[in-house]
């Protein structure tokens, strides 16, 4: 198991949001966590990225315990998080945002990483001099993913990558995520847009009220009557 959560409890101040969470992602998989608004999906990713502390339990990346490490240390360990708000440097150009993503990497590798990101998202090459906050929502999402890739992650976590995007851009972003997986990066996604996420996932988990209630392959959950009714609007 490449990423593994054992009995993880985390939350804000005195409030536990996720309870006794157990799930894992194998090396080279795309795994999704789907669930309603407020189920605790974002909180889960924030705990994995070191943005909030866990109260108990273990998070292992490639066998090493990483719970409660500093976020920059977690990036150095190979796990990079793309937040829902994308957290771009709005006044900086596309290429500057990308270069900032490589803060853990030797300077000599930056050019090659940039080339890989531009190959994945050609629009970023075309717009490399443009200020990030003047890009469309879809382009900003591509930039946020591109910046994460500049840190050469072994594991990428993505919070609602399709949120607010037009349907054709959702398809483009999800296609890019598959290519990232095919290039050897392990991917964990949380999504409310369940149908789209399940379509590209090797496996998925359903989260309700801070706990995993169901798991299966993307196909199994897509075919499950319970999931179809609750999350796919069918």
Binding site for ligand ATP (CB under 6 A): 12, 17, 35, 37-43, 192
Give the dihedral of Cα atoms 184, 152, 44, 88; nearest 10 deg.
Answer: -130
Smallest gap from Cβ 221 to ligand ATP, in A, equals 16
**Closer by beta carbon to ligand ATP, 19 or else 128:** 19
**Closer by beta carbon to ligand ATP, 118 or else 205:** 205
d(CA 152, CA 87): 18
d(CA 220, CA 206): 12
Smallest gap from Cβ 163 to ligand ATP, in A, equals 8
Q: Of 233, 178, 227, 172, which Cα lies nearest the Cα of 202?
A: 178
* Residues 26 and 208 sit within 8 Å (Cβ to Cβ): no
**Closer by beta carbon to ligand ATP, 38 or else 164:** 38
**Closer by beta carbon to ligand ATP, 40 or else 218:** 40
Smallest gap from Cβ 77 to ligand ATP, in A, equals 23
Residue 71 class from Cβ within 10 Å (0-12 exposed, 13-18 middle, 19+ buried)? middle
Give the dihedral of Cα atoms 64, 192, 200, 52; nearest 10 deg.
Answer: -10
Smallest gap from Cβ 47 to ligand ATP, in A, equals 10
Smallest gap from Cβ 64 to ligand ATP, in A, equals 25
Cα-based angle 128, 139, 155 (whole degrees, multiple of 5)? 95
Smallest gap from Cβ 34 to ligand ATP, in A, equals 9
**Closer by beta carbon to ligand ATP, 42 or else 116:** 42
CA R_g for the chain: 17
**Closer by beta carbon to ligand ATP, 92 or else 232:** 232
Smallest gap from Cβ 110 to ligand ATP, in A, equals 33
Strands (E), 1-71: 3-12, 15-25, 30-34, 54-61, 64-65
Cβ-proximal residues to 63 (8 Å cutoff; 6+ apart), any chain: none
**Closer by beta carbon to ligand ATP, 37 or else 108:** 37
């Amino acid at each position: 198991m490449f990423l593994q959560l054992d009995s993880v409890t985390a939350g804000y101040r005195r409030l536990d949001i996720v309870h006794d969470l157990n799930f894992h992602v194998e090396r080279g998989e795309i795994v999704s966590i789907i669930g309603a608004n407020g189920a605790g999906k974002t909180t889960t990713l924030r705990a994995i990225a070191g943005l909030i502390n866990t109260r108990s339990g273990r998070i292992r990346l490639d066998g090493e315990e990483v719970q409660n490490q500093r976020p920059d240390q977690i990036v150095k360990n190979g796990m990079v998080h793309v937040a829902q708000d994308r957290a771009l440097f709005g006044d900086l150009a596309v290429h500057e945002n990308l270069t900032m993503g490589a803060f853990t990497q030797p300077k000599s590798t930056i050019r090659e990483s940039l080339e890989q990101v531009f190959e994945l998202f050609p629009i970023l090459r075309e717009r490399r001099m443009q200020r990030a906050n003047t890009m469309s929502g879809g382009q900003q999402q591509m930039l946020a993913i591109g910046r994460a890739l500049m840190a050469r992650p072994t594991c990428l976590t993505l919070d609602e990558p399709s949120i607010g995007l037009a349907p054709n851009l959702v398809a483009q972003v999800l296609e890019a995520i598959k290519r990232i997986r095919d290039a050897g990066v392990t991917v964990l996604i949380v999504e409310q847009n369940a149908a789209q996420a399940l379509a590209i996932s090797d496996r998925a988990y359903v989260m309700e009220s801070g706990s995993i209630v169901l798991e299966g392959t993307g196909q199994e959950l897509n075919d499950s009557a319970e999931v179809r009714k609750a999350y796919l609007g069918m």
